[in-house]
Amino acid sequence: QVQFVESGGGLVQAGGSLTLSCVVSGSTFSDRTFGWFRRAPGEQREWVASINAGGRTYYEDSVEGRFTMSRDNAKSTVFLQMNSLKPEDTAVYYCNTEMSAVYWGQGTQVTVSD
């Protein structure tokens, strides 16, 4: 089965930046679409961004212009560069192929303080 190992989260002040990484194993990589998702406290998991095999990216409206997703096929890794962070970005961030996936990594906690 596909495995995801997310890292790079932390505590940052509003307006700050973080870069998340996700190493993917157990699957082909370069031909697949991957997404970043997040779950805020008390909320359901939501989609944040996606990148397809050709490198085209898509973003949820609230992060458009602030977040940038990228991929390194040689390292089977996807990234999420997050700038101008807001308190409402506080969540556990996960990567996966789709929202309906059965298996998820442990995620990485992002906390944005006022």
- Report yes or no: 27 and 2 within 8 Å, Cβ to Cβ: yes
* Region 28-49 average pLDDT: 97
Q: Nearest Cα to 81, choosing from 18, 5, 16? A: 18
Average pLDDT, the chain: 97
**pLDDT over 90 (residue 9):** yes
Cα separation, 58 vs 47, whole angstroms: 10
Percent of the chain at pLDDT > 90 equals 96
Cα separation, 67 vs 102, whole angstroms: 26
Cα separation, 102 vs 11, whole angstroms: 28
Q: Are strands 46-51 and 108-113 parallel, antiparallel or unpaired?
A: unpaired
The pLDDT, as a whole number, for residue 43 is: 96
Confidence of residue 1 (pLDDT cuts 50, 70, 90): confident
pLDDT digits (tens, 9 = 90+) for 48-90: 999 999 999 999 999 999 999 999 999 999 999 999 999 999 9
* Region 95-102 average pLDDT: 93
Residue type, 97: T
* Region 10-25 average pLDDT: 98
